[in-house]
Amino acid sequence: MFKLYKNLKAKDWFWLVVIIGLTVLQVWFTMSIIDYMKNVISSIVYINYHNNPKLLGDSVKQLVDTLGWKQAVEAIKSTGQFDKSTLSTILLVATATTADIWKNAGIMLGFAALVVLVQLVIAILASYISADLSTTIRKKVYDKVDDFSNNEMNKFSTASLITRTTNDIQNVQMTNVMMMRMVFTAPVTAIWAIVKIRATSTELTIATAVAVIALLIFIITMMIVVLPKFKKVQKLIDRINGISRENLTGIRVIRAFNAEDYQKEKFEQANDNLTKTQVFTGRVMSLLNPGMMIIMNGVALAIYWIGSSLINNGSIDYPTVTAFSTLSSQIIMAFMVLMMMFVLWPRASVCARRINEVLETDSSIIDPTSEKELVSKGTIEFRNVSFRYPDGDENALSNLNFSIEKGKTIAIIGATGSGKTTIVNLMMRFYDTTEGEILLNGVNIKDLKQETIHSIIGLVPQKGFLFKGTVKENVALGNPSMSLDNIKQACEVAKADEFILEKPEGYDFMISQSGKNVSGGQKQRLCIARAVAMHPEIYIFDDSFSALDYKTDKQVRDNLKHTDSDATKIIVAQRIGTIMDADMILVVEGGKIVGLGKHQELLKNCPLYLDIALSQLSKKELGLDKANIGGE
């Protein structure tokens, strides 16, 4: 929790010091209220004695009835029959008026108003500091996650990252507000009140100490019971978010397989677990208020009981007992607030620890401090490249060696799980190689900043993703200031203009989140247009034509040849028809290159490629006769 406070700004620290100063001032005002409340009660008692002098004794009453208060006081002074304490009380009674009540009550109300004002200022400053800190932390978490490589993204689930960015930060913010509003006040109030009551009565102090000990035992017992549950709640919230996200993103699949009941059962189970945990903690915490009231009322009863005996013995007066009762309540309330914070702190601490886990996780992909100068343009070379996923037992890629020249079209084909997308991820430096090196434009990609790599390479991912916004905004994602003409040209190349112009809004057509209001093929064409609009030196199409029909597939590839003829194109595909015209084809199996050459060469020299080709096209379509395929 304390690690997060290093994110406080200089102005936040300044206002924090102000809050501490205002807290001391607030406690002083509160203690002054108690003092003036004692004075009000004393004034009422003195006026009562003034109006009924018999309460001070028959001798005093006779003098007052005979001489009046002024002459009676002089006579009492001259006799010397009363001790100094009694004489002082008689003098106060003699001069007591209702004006004393109004004066002390007015000052008490003034201090009460100041307490309210100071509390209001503290609340505003506490809310401001907490909100500012949460804003800073949320931004840092977002920036940190934005810099994560695929390795770190796999470490944290998406649902967990969402919970950490929202619910966890909110819990920390609420705890910080309560700390600044109450926790500073509680110890100052407790210490100040303890110092005041120690000078009043030993017996009453012991009664208060017993009440405080009882309160501590009560709250510590509650903490022991509920703390494990608080730690469990955040993980259960992660589970709820994960199931909800999975259900919403896969709603069509769920409906297609009539799996609604199965998903509902999963959600209900997770929801019930969270509900039961929160109900349990809520029930235990609900005992806090009645328990506190029993202890507070018990100590008040003890104080008045003990105080009445002390009053009868003449060792204390009623106003002092009343003030002591108020002070003891302040002490118990202060300890209660501290204990409440100890109850809330663990949950906030769990949230803070989860946030710090994100902030302290460094990306495994680190940009160099300075970039090397590019040697060539539009080239990629793999030199003895091997790669193993962080949690993998075996290499996903082993000893890959190939080079891609500028302006060439290179295709990568292989069975599912053969390592095609892994090759793409390494080209984009979403992962770093385990062994070997990858050269981009003649320079090791580890010596280039990720921004530079991504400006050179235009990626169309296997799973097309669109953002909520207009068609223009999605196509111009890489350059928001892009001209409309450039956007239109890119859409024409990707054959996306066909369905865009059918929309009444045209290029202002609003795409829903994740592109749910367009078809798979339309989504893919917009993703291709997004890459084309940046005019990169190298295109990577990671199985990006699979959602297109054969006609559109060929038209898009032909358009790319004419529009960016100098650009290097890397096509990962399953269709033989998509890649058969490529300048070079890589056949991948088990993370190794088992075939490298042109279409006709691979049909003769690579059995795996031949099997893939024959599974999709006829011998005639492939231009094979019986002699070519071994006499069949």
Average pLDDT, the chain: 83
pLDDT beyond 90 at 557? no
Query: At 181, phi and psi to the nearest 5?
Result: -85, -30
> What is the four-CA torsion angle of 480, 484, 485, 488, rounded to 10 degrees?
90
Q: Mind listing the pLDDT tens digit for each residue in 431-459? A: 889 999 999 999 999 999 988 999 999 99
**Least confident range of 14-28, 289-303, 337-351, 500-514:** 337-351
Question: Each residue of 414-425: pLDDT tens digit?
Answer: 888 888 889 999
The whole-angstrom separation of Cα 383 and Cα 252 is 43
Res 171: pLDDT: 86
pTM of the model: 0.72
CA 226/CA 172 separation, integer angstroms: 18
For 16-25, 32-41, 334-343, which range has the lowest pLDDT when averaged over its residues? 334-343
What does DSSP say about strands 397-404 and 380-387: parallel, antiparallel, or unpaired? Answer: antiparallel
Model confidence at 631, in pLDDT bands (50, 70, 90)?
very low
The predicted pLDDT at position 592 comes to 92
Q: What is the per-residue pLDDT across 171-186, written as a single tens digit (0 to 9) for each?
A: 899 888 888 887 777 7
Q: Are the beta carbons of 168 and 233 closer than 8 angstroms?
A: no
What are the tens digits of pLDDT across the range 481-501? 889 999 999 999 988 888 898
Q: Which amino acid is at 325?
A: S
Under DSSP, is residue 570 helix (H, G, I), strand (E, B) or coil? strand
pLDDT at res. 83 = 64
DSSP secondary structure of 398-467: EEEEEEE-TT-EEEEEESTTSSHHHHHHHHTTSS--SEEEEEETTEEGGGS-HHHHHHHEEEE-SS----
- Three-state secondary structure string covering 238-257: HHHHHHHHHHHHCHHHHHHC
Please write down the long-range contacts of 165-168, taking CB distance under 8 Å and 24 or more positions apart.
Answer: 165/138, 165/141, 167/234, 167/237, 167/351, 168/234, 168/351, 168/352, 168/354, 168/355
Cα–Cα nearest to 606, from 615, 616, 593: 593
DSSP string for residues in 43-94? HHHHHHHHH-GGGG-HHHHHHHHHHHHHHHHHHHHHH--S-HHHHHHHHHHH
Do residues 217 and 335 lie in contact, with contact meaning Cβ atoms separated by under 8 Å? no
- 274 phi and psi angles, rounded to 5 deg: -65, -45
Residues paired with residue 541 on neighbouring β-strands, in sequence order: 460, 571
Beta-carbon contacts of residue 405 (< 8 Å; ≥ 6 apart): 378, 379, 568
Long-range contact pairs involving 197-205 (C-beta distance under 8 Å, separation at least 24): 197/324, 197/327, 197/328, 197/331, 200/316, 200/320, 200/323, 200/324, 201/307, 201/310, 201/315, 201/316, 201/320, 201/324, 203/306, 203/310, 204/303, 204/306, 204/307, 204/310, 204/321, 204/324, 204/328
pLDDT of residue 116 exceeding 50, the answer is yes
Tens digit of pLDDT for each residue in 147-156? 887 788 877 7
Whole-number pLDDT of residue 201:
67
Is the pLDDT reported for residue 140 higher than 50?
Answer: yes
pLDDT digits 0-9 by tens, 367-410:
888 888 888 899 999 999 999 988 777 889 999 999 999 989 99
In a 3-state reduction of DSSP, which class is residue 596? Answer: strand
Q: Is the pLDDT of residue 124 over 90?
A: yes
Q: Which domains does the chain have, with CATH numbers?
A: 2-359 (1.20.1560.10), 380-622 (3.40.50.300)
**pLDDT at residue 169 is higher than 80:** yes
| Separation of alpha carbons 310 and 302, rounded Å | 12
Strand order in the sheet with 397-404: 397-404, 380-387, 435-440, 443-444
**Residues 6 or more apart whose Cβ sits within 8 Å of residue 23:** 122, 184, 185, 188
Average pLDDT over residues 511-522: 83
Give the integer Cα–Cα distance in Å for 320 and 342: 33
Q: Are 230 and 350 in contact (CB under 8 A)?
A: yes
Looking at residue 616, its amino acid is: Q
The predicted pLDDT at position 314 comes to: 65
Residue-level pLDDT at 414 = 87
